[in-house]
Amino acid sequence: MLIQGITRDIMQRIDLQQTAVSYIKQPLCILLMNNIMAEDLLHHKQFPEYTLKKGEQYMSAKQLAHFRAILTSLKAELRDDIDRTVHTMQDEATVFADPNDRASQESDIALELRNRDRERKLIKKIDESLGLIDNEEYGYCESCGIEIGLKRLEARPTATMCIDCKTLEEHREKQIGK
């Protein structure tokens, strides 16, 4: 009888833990998805990889148009996402009596605002990249002046440094503790 009571108690705790884990997993997945850069999600879905034609010059008008389309589309999607967040936050502005619910809502809002701030910074980088395209300076390393490369620009359209200069910069930052 005692063993059955202990077993029942353990099973109830396991059920509660599994329920709590499944309740936590869904928001956690959403948080993890929000932390993925919007830049990583967008252009791979809508734009095919640029294939360099034989004898084609680096950063030709066709390549610049390709990257302009990627950057413009990314910027428009980010702006839509920001607008959608503002409207959602205005619609869901409720006051909870329970302090735990209120704290949960405030932490969700803080996380969402942090993500939107990152997206705002990304929009600024996109604008800078579009300015480089206008000046026909896009695709060249700001540090050493060599070609950044189409593959790197496909992966990160706002890149301003070649992989070697960026690696060196990251090592320097790591050494001085930034």
Residue 159 has pLDDT above 90, yes or no: yes
Is the whole-model pTM more than 0.95?
A: no
* Structural tokens at position 129: 């990249």
State residue 12's pLDDT score. Answer: 56
For residue 43, pLDDT beyond 50: no
Please state which CATH class domain 36-140 belongs to: mainly alpha
What pLDDT shows up at residue 9?
A: 57
pLDDT band at 175 (very low <50, low <70, confident <90, very high): very high
Rounded-to-integer distance, Cα 80 and Cα 84, Å: 6
Q: Decide: residue 87, CB within 10 A, 0-12 exposed, 13-18 middle, 19+ buried.
A: exposed
